[in-house]
Amino acid sequence: MAAGGVMVGNVDISENEEGKLTTSVVIICIIAASAGLMFGYDIGVSGGVTTMEPFLKEFFPSVVAKMADTKQDMYYLAAFTSSLYIAGLVSSIVAGRVATIVGRRGILIMSGVIFLIGTALNALAVHVAMLILGRILIGFGIGFGNQAAPVYVTEMAPPKWRGTLSTAFQFYLCSGGRVGHFYQLCLGSARKLRLAALGCAAIPAIIMTIGALSIPDTPSSLIQRGRYNEARQSLNKVRGVEYDTEAELNNFISSANAASAANHESYKKLLQSRYRPHLVLALAIPSFQQLTGVNVVAFYAPVLFRSMGSGGQMALLGAVILGAVNLGSALVSTCIVDRIGRRFLFLEGGLQLSLSEVAIACIFARQLGPFSATTAIVVLVLMCSISAAFGWSWGPLTWLVPSEILPMDVRPLGQGIGIAFNFIVTFVLSQISLALFCHLKYGMFLLYAALTLLMTVFVPETKGVPLESMDAVWRKHWYWRRFISEV
């Protein structure tokens, strides 16, 4: 290794390979990460739209007429809302294949355009078919964006700053959610809500699409498609003219040539034993993100506070506080992820999540019926603890770590499959969470606590490690090294 090398994450790299944080790379990565705005805004606004009576009267009059049959209505509306997740999981897998042809930038542009078409259909819908079609197209746009944006930022960012820049996706996601909630609270009538709240979803899509048209594709993607001169230009743009890009470019080319020499399809490679750690974590991290219990807090916090005897204002205040904590913790992650590392954040966040969930379970187990004001405040504090822990660990790291650990030749496909699993788990939980919560009660929090601890211990440290040197991380991991050593 070159002189002046340093040890980062147990991997020896030269200072030149760490890269430099330039204005260009910051702007480019922020533009790509803005894809998170689309997903976040949809999460924030869609739930309120499908539960407002004027909206239901216009598009689902039979549902309003059958309000007495709440069980039937619950599953009917849940299936309608969840069509986005089905479309998202399909498009995530498709995006992994298409990315090898059109590149990461191409997928981002396609994401924005498809999302815009879906938004237009939803905003101008005159019957249910237009709503469903628009919802499906929005799901495809989100699936493309969720697959491409984290990979794009990971491949563009210098190793030393990769974590900081990659957390922008989660920050945008949280910000979009808060804006969506704002429209949900402020707008009233069905037509006004649809044209404003659903129509305004076009704004983040327009921002991201126009931005994607102005940024270069990643060097890794360009090299995979044999466009070496464009890869050099892209690398020079993000690293700066004074930075010697040839060594980094040659590393990318060597990795691409080695992958081509193997002469295997990406999906076949992912099934090889040497890629078992990569595949398992690329699937498990996005899946277990949904099993941390944060969605129970986010989606059912108002219901929980009402069930504890708190008034509507307290329920609304609790939701606002939780949203602010989640957004603030995403900023905390941006500041510390490249200083203290991914694994530490996973461990600390996982432990904090589990302890807070166990504490809530104990409170729910000991006290039935309406809670006192003091107990309600304690529960709110514990929920804030869960939201904060998720915001600086499982929230942003779910998008970052899988895109870091996957080798170049299987990165788009592996990331796409991982995002698809995230959509699958989200869809399943959206169908069964309420029923599970009613049956398990406080046991639901204990289940989430156990699952979070189980997954946390298997995550490796990838801080500051160049993507082409990631094999060394696996070889030093206490568990995964047994699979890498077979090669």
Average pLDDT, the chain: 79
Q: Look at residue 310 in the predicted model and tell me its pLDDT.
A: 52
CATH fold of the domain at 16-215 = Growth Hormone; Chain: A; (1.20.1250)
C-beta separation of 37 from 175 below 8 A: yes
pLDDT in tens, 331-378: 999 999 989 989 899 999 999 999 999 999 998 888 756 667 778 778
C-beta separation of 342 from 461 below 8 A: yes
Q: Look at residue 321 in the predicted model and tell me its pLDDT.
A: 79
CATH number at 265-487 = 1.20.1250.20
Q: Look at residue 353 in the predicted model and tell me its pLDDT.
A: 94
pLDDT in tens, 240-274: 777 777 877 888 888 777 666 554 556 677 777 77
Alpha helices in 50-127 (DSSP H): 53-59, 61-65, 70-81, 83-123
pLDDT band per the 50, 70, 90 thresholds, residue 238:
confident
> Would you list the domain boundaries of the chain?
16-215, 265-487
Q: Look at residue 197 in the predicted model and tell me its pLDDT.
A: 64
More confident residue, 458 or 295: 458
According to DSSP, the β-strands at 11-13 and 6-8 are antiparallel
C-beta separation of 343 from 457 below 8 A: no
C-beta separation of 108 from 152 below 8 A: yes
pLDDT in tens, 135-177: 889 999 999 999 999 999 998 988 888 889 989 999 998 888 8
More confident residue, 181 or 226: 226
Q: Look at residue 347 in the predicted model and tell me its pLDDT.
A: 92
Residue range 451-479: mean pLDDT, rounded? 82
Q: Look at residue 14 in the predicted model and tell me its pLDDT.
A: 42
pLDDT band per the 50, 70, 90 thresholds, residue 15:
very low
Residue range 72-81: mean pLDDT, rounded? 55
Q: Look at residue 3 in the predicted model and tell me its pLDDT.
A: 38
16-215 and 265-487 in the same fold: yes
